[in-house]
Amino acid sequence: MNIFLLEDNDAIIKGLEYSFKLNNYKLISAKNLEEAQTYLKSNKPNLIILDISLPDGNGLNLYNDLIKNLNIPTIFLTALDDEDTIVKCFNLGCDDYITKPFSSKELLARVKRILLRNKNNSVIIVQNIKFDLDKMIVYKNDVEVSLTSLEKNLLSLLFLNINKTVRRGAILDKIWELTGNDVDDHTITVYLKRIREKLGVDIIKTVKGIGYRIDEE
């Protein structure tokens, strides 16, 4: 598996090269946008780890202008953990993000999860609930669960972020994107309650004051 890293910090690069090699991944790195563009024009790695703040520009712009069209899973690295930055990352279409400082073990776990999800045609199973993200069909004990389009999209947001809390702001933005309607915190509560009732199993955890999360067993 080839992993491409765009990062200008030498210490981070060396640390990740060592960790990824131990896990049988080949890590190719670049330190600026120009090097990254040159590499990606003639190579297609299995996954990209992309720093947002770079010496010659913004990683978000590179993703939007080039990487997004290559259809390569991407994890954003950022020193910013504010809600606006996180929401912007997901709205652009990133697969995951991780804030600095971070542990190489956590990053590797996220990489493995994304690669495994893609290998398995984006079918994710939690307890007796199976979500086929390609077909956007949810099953309970192999019987299809009847969800509305909006409910499926909200549930997919949680499934795509397994083991990570999805902030209420990101969910509000998703509802607005899909419906065009003004929404508030009460709207989230109503939709999540309906989804929980239809699933009939308590896999959606509430993180008080922050958002919601689905954990792997």
SS3 122: coil
Tell me which of 119, 138, 171 is where a domain ends.
Answer: 119
**41 and 127 fall within a common domain:** no
Summarize the confidence of residues 186-213 as an average pLDDT: 92
Residue 129 pLDDT more than 80?
yes
Summarize the confidence of residues 104-126 as an average pLDDT: 79
**130 and 113 fall within a common domain:** no
**7 and 113 fall within a common domain:** yes
How high is the pLDDT of residue 124?
84
Pairing of strands 57-58, 47-51: unpaired
**114 and 130 fall within a common domain:** no
How high is the pLDDT of residue 118?
65
* C-alpha dihedral (158, 160, 164, 170), degrees to nearest 10: -60
Contacts of 159 (CB under 8 A, 6+ apart): 124, 126, 131, 133, 214
How high is the pLDDT of residue 139?
95
Residue 190 pLDDT more than 60?
yes
**143 and 96 fall within a common domain:** no
Torsion-angle region of residue 42: left (phi > 0), alpha (psi -120 to 50) or beta? alpha
Residue 121 pLDDT more than 70?
no
**115 and 9 fall within a common domain:** yes
Tell me which of 70, 103, 119 is where a domain ends.
Answer: 119
State the Cα angle at 144 between 138 and 145, rounded to 5°: 65
Residue 194 pLDDT more than 90?
yes
Number of domains in the chain: 2
Q: What is the CATH number of the domain that holds 29?
A: 3.40.50.2300
Q: What is the CATH number of the domain that holds 209?
A: 1.10.10.10
Contacts of 120 (CB under 8 A, 6+ apart): none
Tell me which of 97, 119, 141 is where a domain ends.
Answer: 119
**108 and 62 fall within a common domain:** yes
Portion of the chain with pLDDT greater than 70, in percent:
96
Block residue for tokens 């398995």: 120
- Prediction pTM value: 0.55
**84 and 153 fall within a common domain:** no
Confirm if 92 and 101 have CB atoms less than 8 A apart: no
How high is the pLDDT of residue 18?
92
**83 and 158 fall within a common domain:** no
How high is the pLDDT of residue 119?
60
Q: What is the mean pLDDT of the chain?
A: 87
**109 and 146 fall within a common domain:** no
Query: Tell me: the pLDDT tens digits for 44-70?
Result: 898 999 998 888 888 888 998 888 888
With cut-offs at 50, 70 and 90, classify the pLDDT of residue 37: very high
**103 and 13 fall within a common domain:** yes
Task: State which residues form the domain around 107.
Answer: 2-119
**148 and 106 fall within a common domain:** no
Summarize the confidence of residues 94-114 as an average pLDDT: 87
